[in-house]
Structure 1
Amino acid sequence: MASLDSFACRRHLDVGDTRYNYFSLPDAASQLGDIARLPHSLKILLENLLRWEDGKSVTAEDIRALAGWIAERSVEREIQYRPARVLMQDFTGVPAVVDLAAMRDAVARAGGDARRINPISPVDLVIDHSVMVDHFGTPDAFAANVEIEMQRNGERYAFLRWGQQAFDNFRVVPPGTGICHQVNLEYLARTVWSSLRDGEHWAYPDTLVGTDSHTTMINGLGVLGWGVGGIEAEAAMLGQPVSMLIPEVVGMRLTGRLREGITATDLVLRVTQMLRSHGVVGKFVEFYGDGLAELPLADRATIANMAPEYGATCGFFPVDAITLDYLRLSGRPAQTVELVEAYCKAQGLWREDGQEPLFSASLELDLGSVEASLAGPKRPQDRVLLGEVRQAFEHFVGLQLKPTGKEEGRLESEGGGGVAVGNADQVRGVEYCQDGQTWRLEDGAVVIAAITSCTNTSNPSVMMAAGLVAQKALEKGLQRKPWVKSSLAPGSKVVTEYLEAAGLADSLDRLGFDLVGYGCTTCIGNSGPLPAAIEKAVQSADLTVASVLSGNRNFEGRVHPLVKTNWLASPPLVVAYALAGTVRIDLTRDPLGHGSDGQPVYLRDLWPSQQEVAAAVAKVDSEMFRRQYADVFRGDQTWRDIQIPQSQVYDWQADSTYIRNPPFFDEIAGQPPRVSDVRNARILALLGDSVTTDHISPAGNIKLGSPAADYLQRHGVEPQDFNSYGSRRGNHEVMMRGTFANIRIRNEMLDGEEGGLTRHVPSGEKMAIYDAAMRYQNEGTPLLIFAGKEYGTGSSRDWAAKGTRLLGVKAVIAESFERIHRSNLVGMGVLPLQFTGGETRRGIGLTGDEVIAISGLEGVELRPGMPLFLEILRPDGSQSRHELLCRIDTLNEVEYFKAGGILHYVLRQLISG
């Protein structure tokens, strides 16, 4: 809390029987100038600075700079932001707790008190990323998947249970409860936070950072939060501020209302396309306009959730009466709701009709113009109208077929191969047998249909719509196609309860959408295996098949290694595509199938009216939330029976393949390495545009024959027990072998061949990237990565930076970086550098055979945004020199980089202090 109050704005607010202290924005404005039209999101940052002013990390000049944003709509100033709390999920949470345990080890080795390593800010970790869809389509699928989950992850879960008792301010929501963002929305968040300090109650905005990109979902509830890397989150929980530049804020005015039959999913895909096209990377987006009055809270949360997909730091919705209605519906205490209303109105954080904040730039969307859409086949921003999905699929696989005129019904391929000339009714396919019947599987077949992910399963309207489509389909006599692996994985148990209350759960079950777990499942890549006959058929004919999921991520190789096209859709459309069984269909015109009466059944015959959806949504009540969250941290008996040591320092097991003591802090007692130029470096990989953190550090399948698989097998792990990369993030040996191991990554050093391969230079041998990196390390050769635009887009995956460092990469040179990954690279002591003047890796003719130097680091004071130089020596002896932009963006990041990384910086301070 602030030790200074330069603007004399400390006040109190009485709510019920409680008096709350707070820092008043309107009173601060008497000295700062009119801030009434400052975006709500920046008002929250301004309050944060007022509350934490200490003359060092936060100064009066910082506060004036933020208040002065309103004049220029952009301020180049670094500020130190302290969120109220931290949210984690288990994939990113396990390595964070591993790091904390390793830091305790380091402090103990240095003779200090290990308990000094302890979260200062409250931390909630929700176990939601580990359940896989091994079983589906049966009433016992949920129980079977949970049993397997506990068997696979017992060691990880025991480690988290240890952390729960070893660390203060650290709570764990056990597996089988829900997805972290939905649990946050429905239970953890308060919109206005309060705490007791020195006997006094304080009120302030609920703010957080999370170790998952979709932390932004909570912006729909008026809570300012966004995803950071686990590295940055660990520093935040240990008391370090989040260093950031005052952001630009793009306003998006919403007007009108959605038309009949249009869902929140359709809306968010349109918003994503518009904002991605506009360019909002590194910026805040704030929604305003009278159309907000037409958006239920769940729709706002859906839009906020996909801020990473449209590229923004966050997508913020201000607090209004709809916020209060949701807080009441979800069972929040009356005192919390009263405090939210009183505080937000007192602070000017309440949305008023006709309010027009000032923004860096603005866009406008008439909700009435939104059309039914999907996104695919491999990026969430690639919106495709429902009636154009077939064409988009065929274009992707080179099937753009047209009549040749040679023979009626005869088609030929345009657009780069895919399927040979053939009959329109006989696209490429293969017959397979299952359960005694023979079926034909073709290109475009939907082999996965998953109602999954926090984005949509948090929204009762689209979930009820899915149930209604299923109910009407059964009434018509339709069933899902036999090759479709269907699943339902809600983000909380509340969803199951309200589907049952509306009488729709049974219909989903009868179509094969039985409950498979409460977690991310397919959206994170935990789709599980396809039935053996399906996998064999896909592989035998090299078919291009599809998944349709109600998620937010459809990057290459993420959902399933054999599924090359992946489509994001609303839950009711997921059901529809399961009925159709193919994406080679126009659902606006073609029948889904034929009913029991032999008549064609169209999507319009099944689609529920707004009145039907509203009637079902009315079944949702507060008691459902209160029941399901009454004892949310307790877990089931299996969780409670996990045996854990009662120790403050973790007892590392030498034979563990899940939890290992990482090498990051081995040399922490010595002086940090001197920042120096990089000399005689080699290129480990030349990568293209939109390389995601999924490409850099995959979360899903561990491929047999890969370096990670070889390591596990050498340690006695059978292939069926490999689990996933995400579940192995507590083991650096697995994760460094998995770095750049995505089956769809393309290294231009090998002419774009797919897979985590490279060419060792100068030997010319082709090998796995990990194997080449180890050979280079043995040779004492530093390494570089070159890439195109948007390097590191996607999930806030700390292992994409940790693995890069452990492979010996000193710098990544790209045309542009995704915000979180750039920060993570700095946080791990890897230098992010950006081409300038329009230069690219291709423009300067890189092949991977060059010897590279990075100069300009020695003999000068490292500073944000300084120019550095790329010096290239080619095999023919020619040389060239190119200027690069150092993407260490803030003064704090300079200190972190000089210390070898952000955790090294914190740990050195604790040891020396």
Structure 2
Amino acid sequence: MAIGNDTLNTRRTLTAGGKSYDYFSLEAASEAIGDISRLPFSLKVLLENLLRFEDGGTVSVEDIKALPAWLAAKRSDREIAYRPARVLMQDFTGVPAVVDLAAMRAAMTKLGGDPKKINPLSPVDLVIDHSVMVDSFGGPDSFQKNVDLEFERNGERYSFLRWGQTAFDNFRVVPPGTGICHQVNLENLAQVVWTKEEEGKTIAYPDTLVGTDSHTTMVNGLSVLGWGVGGIEAEAAMLGQPVSMLIPEVVGMKLTGQLKEGTTATDLVLTVTQMLRAKGVVGKFVEFYGAGLDHLTLADQATISNMAPEYGATCGFFPIDEETIRYLKFTGRDEGRIALVEAYAKAQGMWRDSNTPDPVFTDTLELDLSTVEPSLAGPKRPQDRVALSALGAEATKIVKSAVGDDISKGTPVAGKDYSLNHGDVMIAAITSCTNTSNPSVLIAAGLVAKKAREKGLSVKPWVKTSLAPGSQVVTDYLEAAGLQSELDALGFDLVGYGCTTCIGNSGPLADEHVTAIEEGDLHVAAVLSGNRNFEGRVSPQTRLNYLASPPLVVAYALAGNVTLDLLNDPLSTDSNGEPVFLKDVWPSNHEVEALMTSSLTPEMFRARYDNVFEGPEEWKSIETAAGMTYAWDSGSTYVQYPPFFEDMGPEPGELTDFVGARQLAMLADSVTTDHISPAGAIKKESPAGSYLLEHQVRPIDFNSYGSRRGNHEIMMRGTFANIRIKNELAPGTEGGVTTHQPSGEVMPIYDASMKYQAEGVPLIVIGGKEYGTGSSRDWAAKGTRLLGVKAVIVESFERIHRSNLVGMGVLPLQFKDGMTRETLKLNGTETFDIVGVAGGITPRMDVTCRIHRADGSSEEVQLLCRIDTADEVEYYRNGGILHYVLRNLMKAA
């Protein structure tokens, strides 16, 4: 993407590490637009982006002047065009994105255009990290067994990605077994200050990105502005389309003090998540400031930034300071780049130190780090923090509310000498980018294991244990510290480098355990060091799912049950029969810091990342097709040509109203993208399972919904198919079912959709607050569209899912003035007319909804159209963002 006009004459030169760089100076800009010194650091990044791309068209001088104006009002309704430097993908979302690009090339060819135009213009990195499952655990060969199964299951997908690696320019793939995309990004890919060569000059500018995973925000801890988007938005960004956004409100969170003895970064982030979710920061930037930053490591900052989707913010940004430079050195970054980062940040007023005045924020809140206490979050939302001291009582209360006061009777396990009980920990997983990026909590986990072993303790026999680090460097420092063997001895052997339990890749529980859980209708638990614990996500069997620090994961594996009071009840008994308490095995902060200092070196990072794009022999030996367009295999159950561009003409059709629409689903508050489009296991009895059986796929080879996102036939059958989703149109049921109208027949949502579409009936979905919370899952919008849903009407949307719906041509509508599905007394027998669309859409206009009831009465209400920007109007008018991009590329010379 070419540099703009620089009307304000802000291009300057700086020298760093003996090399000269051109940059767009905020200080020079301030001479023309006014003082911006106290602008939040995150907005300074946006301002620089506008300066660099100012062209009088997509970016105007008036757009630039809106930033200093923001300082006066602390908010803005100005829409800007933002162009991130690069795009990051993981394979669950990356595969369908590459499928879409391949389909766009095929559509371009069909329309008579040049398929080469469908090519990333921005650098794209795809990290394959979401496909490893915990099939094997608790043994020294678990890692290799899981790798072998991963390549066996995903051969079609990996062959397709290898084709993409050669077919598209500006597209790199980090092979399986390397690590989690966010940790690889933090430790290696991110540069803090990016550079490009243009007309013989080296241009320096902030490293920015969008990613196809909501936890892209983790790199905000390294002062890199980025956030998660759906795959469709990422594809548009790759193809040169700017991200259209309103200049956001910025909430400042002031941190003071420092963590006290015995607390961890995980405890801190769960506290921050609870506070910010209660504050209400959806759609806003959060920026951290205050003297407390001086007592946080960069890994601590990244842990906090990682959870931005959980507290609802677009990003959780930390400014560049001495800790940034220390971390870049520590992770073996290039010395010239490190010198550039410091020089650039200081030249641009992007450097934080003790003399930096506090930025101006839209709103603020404050946390004294010394008040943080050991915590977990759950049982089904990451923002529901529970103090460790209260967890046992809380878990007991939850179980009793479900099954009654008698929760002591166990269910015998066939062939074993123990029973399973309510609250038993079935899964204890050290996993996820949130915590495995942080050496302090992993070292602490290893020390808990070591001290427990010295006391003669072992993990309870029903607990499935696993360790899935975010990068190979974790193994290096755990081994150097002598702690990997201690973890191995308790069953926390390495199972893979990637996202596992946190995204539902926990693998199956033992058959005898599943039988006992089902026979006793037991409410059993998982404890994981992850960031997501939504219903049905971690495992189909665990109803209580708690997020915890890695050392607490080990502790709960030893204790075996979440209804215990871990601060007062013993974990177990030692070899002499004496009780052992948590305090007896918990390491001091000094012990953790001493081992970190002695065990971690920059050489570990350099060695692991020198050949980051090569991959193991299994990857190198995969055969793949060649050619600019993909040779689709009609027999594949993983990759299929999607129907999004069928019957697409060179010009968009006319917008129409929807008349006689029926509800496909009516849902409550906090419906997540996991509810809408699950990532985990495919049930044999589901529509997706039936499809796979019809295609001669054995249940053992079903793999997961996440791994099959390249096949729309499976994904549309999986839409609204989460095992825990509750559709109010089919009261008393759980899972993806609905009631077809007017027949009154209860059937799977997919079957009802097909029946309605055959009848020519348009569909809507109605929901409550925070609709679409969670992962930036584009299939939650794609599946909605393919099921024939024309509009989604809810009380409020989560940011990413709303934009994904627009990007797929689905109309997002919002109830107004306290109106809800309850106040309207909807029951599923109504029909709906959505009127006013045919006259043309404008941002945030009102739309009329006529409700026709079964008794012959009708009612007319006004809804807010949540198409928020002029660009989104064009996306919707074209039937989706990819259709808009494709038509524009067709017209380009």
Structure 2 match to 1:403: none
Q: Corresponding residue for 2:178?
A: 177
Residue 881 in 1 paired to residue 883 in 2? Answer: no
Q: Deviations over 1:138-195 (max 9, x none)?
A: 0000000000000000000000000000000000000010000000000000000011
**CA displacement at 1:112 relative to structure 2:** 2.0
1:316-715 aligned within 5 A = 316-354=317-355, 355-397=357-399, 399=400, 415=401, 417-419=402-404, 421-422=405-406, 427-434=408-415, 437-618=416-597, 619-715=599-695
Q: Does 1:37 align with 2:16?
A: no
1:394 CA drift (Å): 2.1
Contact 1:33–1:67 (Cα < 8 Å) also in 2: yes
Superposed displacement of residue 912, structure 1: 2.6
Q: 2: distance between equivalents of 1:588 and 1:870?
A: 55
Counterpart CA distance in 2 for 1:797 and 1:56 is 31
Aligned sequence identity (%): 65
Answer yes or no: is 1:748 the counterpart of 2:728.
yes
- Structure 1 residue ranges without an equivalent (≥5): 400-414
- Equivalent position of 1:834 in the other structure: 814
Alignment-mate amino acid for residue 639 of structure 2: I
Describe the SS at the equivalent of 1:266.
helix
| Matched-pair contact (CA < 8 Å) for 2:739–2:747 | yes
Q: 1:224 & 1:428 partners in 2: Cα distance? A: 52
Q: Contact 2:844 / 2:868 at 8 angstroms: preserved in 1?
A: yes
> Residues of 2 paired with 1:54 and 1:680: CA distance?
46
Partner of 2:200: 199
In structure 2, distance between residues paired with 1:784 and 1:199: 54
Aligned to 1:296: 297
User: Contact (CA 8 Å) 2:682, 2:689: kept in 1 or not?
Assistant: yes
Following the alignment from structure 1 to structure 2, what is the Cα–Cα distance between the partners of residues 648 and 785? Answer: 39
Question: Is 1:308 aligned with 2:287?
Answer: no
Two-structure CA RMSD over aligned residues (Å): 0.9
Which residue pairs with 2:251 in the alignment? 250
Contact kept? 2:299, 2:438, Cα under 8 Å: yes
* Counterparts of residues 864-875 of structure 1 (less than 5 Å): 864-875=843-854
Q: Distance in 1 between matches of 2:749 and 2:838?
A: 30
Q: Deviations over 1:100-135 (max 9, x none)?
A: 000010111122221110000000000000000000
- 2:751 partner SS: helix
Aligned residue in 1 for 2:712: 732
Asked if residue 225 in structure 1 is aligned to residue 226 in structure 2, the reply is yes
Q: Which amino acid aligns with 1:103?
A: M
Could you tell me how far apart the structure 1 residues matched to 2:490 and 2:217 are? 33
Verify: 1:791 aligned to 2:771, yes or no: yes
SS in 2 for 1:161: helix
Tell me what 2:87 maps to.
86
SS in structure 2 at match of 1:112 = coil
Shift of 1:17: 3.1
Write the mapping of 1:102-251 to structure 2, written as runs, cut at 5 A: 102-251=103-252
Matched AA of 1:532: D
Q: What is the CA–CA distance in structure 1 between the aligned matches of 2:620 and 2:849, rounded to whole Å?
A: 56
> Does the CA contact (< 8 Å) of 1:46 and 1:67 recur in 2?
no
State whether residues 220 and 301 of structure 1, in contact with CA within 8 Å, keep that contact through their aligned partners in structure 2.
yes
> Secondary structure of 2:6's match?
coil
Deviation per CA, 1:331-376, whole angstroms, max 9, x where unpaired? Answer: 0000010000000000000012153100000000000000000000
C-alpha contact (below 8 Å) 1:221/1:319 kept by paired residues: yes
* 1:843-879 Cα shifts (integer Å, max 9, x gaps): 10100100111111223x3110000011100000011
Q: 2:12 matched to which residue of 1? A: 11
Mapped to 2, the partners of 1:253 and 1:794 lie a distance apart of 25
Contact residue 392 and residue 566 of structure 2 kept, 8 A: no
Match of 1:778 in 2: 758
- Distance in structure 2 (CA, Å) of the matches to 1:749 and 1:6: 58
Q: Distance in 1 between matches of 2:735 and 2:255?
A: 43
Matched length: 889
Distance 1:387 1:906 in 2: 54
C-alpha contact 2:269 2:307 (8 A) present in aligned 1:
yes
Aligned counterparts of 2:242 and 2:815: Cα–Cα separation in 1: 29
Give the whole-Å Cα distance in 2 for the aligned partners of 1:742 and 1:590: 36
Selected match of 1:897 from 859, 876, 891: 876
| 8 A Cα contact 2:650 2:887, kept in partner | no
Q: In 2, Cα distance between the equivalents of 1:551 and 1:102?
A: 34
Counterpart CA distance in 2 for 1:877 and 1:429 is 54
For 2:111 and 2:230, the matched residues in 1 are separated by: 27
State the 1:16 CA deviation: 2.4
- Are residue 28 (structure 1) and residue 29 (structure 2) matched? yes
How far does residue 598 in structure 1 lie from its aligned partner after superposition? 1.2
Inter-partner Cα distance in structure 2 for 1:905 and 1:55? 22
How far does residue 670 in structure 1 lie from its aligned partner after superposition? 4.6
Structure 1: distance between partners of 2:17 and 2:573: 61
Amino acid at match of 1:629: Y
Secondary structure of residue in 2 paired with 1:564: strand
Out of 242-251 and 350-359, give the one that drifted further: 350-359
**Cα-to-partner distance string for 1:749-776 (whole Å, 9 max, x where unaligned):** 1125211000000000000000000000
Shift of 1:19: 1.1
What secondary structure, in the 3-state scheme, does the structure 2 residue paired with 1:698 have? coil
- Secondary structure of the equivalent of 2:776? coil
Cα offset for 1:671? 3.3
**In structure 1, distance between residues paired with 2:624 and 2:106:** 18
Q: Partners of 2:335 and 2:808 in 1: how far apart?
A: 44
1:258-269 alignment runs, 5 A limit:
258-269=259-270
Please state how far the C-alpha of 1:23 moved relative to its aligned partner: 0.3
Contact 1:668 1:908 in 2 (8 A): no
Q: Is the 8 A contact 2:111 2:650 kept in 1?
A: no
Deviation by residue 1:588-631 (Cα, 9 ceiling, x = unmatched): 11100000121100000000011100011111110000010010
Do the aligned residues in 1 keep the contact of 2:654 with 2:838 (CA within 8 Å)?
no
Q: Secondary structure at 2:770's aligned position in 1?
A: coil
Query: How far, CA to CA, are the matches of 1:858 and 1:622 in structure 2?
Result: 61
Deviations 1:726-771 (A, max 9, x none): 0000000000000000000000111252110000000000000000
3-state DSSP class of the match of 1:895? helix
Structure 2: distance between partners of 1:269 and 1:532: 34
3-state DSSP class of the match of 1:250? strand
1:450-505 deviation digits (Å, cap 9, x = unpaired): 00000000000000000000000000000000000000000000000000000000
Cα distance in 1 between the residues matched to 2:25 and 2:704: 49
CA distance in 1, matches of 2:307, 2:92: 19
Please state whether the residue corresponding to 1:749 is helix, strand or coil.
coil
